[in-house]
Amino acid sequence: MQVTIKSFDLEMEVKNKGVEFDVYSPDGKIHHGDLVLTRAGITWCNGRTKRENGITLNWNKFIELMNAQK
């Protein structure tokens, strides 16, 4: 995958606005979506889905989901 930072609106810690990453196929031709990291959690915006319509998990739910992958 090719992942780039879409915006870098943060200081030392992630603020409410967060950090947004563009996620592309390895060749950069297919935009898979955006990943948004905020103080409250993580949001996946598939394809051209807007941030407010993305799938959001709070950090506790995200950690639980990732730990279940072991």
Domain range for 36: 2-67
- Encode burial over 8-33: b for 16+ CB neighbours within 10 A, e otherwise: eebeeeeeeebbbebbeeeeeeeebb
CA–CA gap between residue 51 and residue 7 (Å, rounded)? 13
Tell me the mean pLDDT per 10 residues along the chain, length 70: 70 71 93 93 94 95 94
Number of structural domains found in the chain:
1
pLDDT, tens only, 30-50: 999 999 998 899 999 999 999
Q: Give the per-residue pLDDT at 10.
A: 52
Beta-strand ranges (E) seen in the chain are: 2-7, 19-24, 31-37, 41-46, 55-58
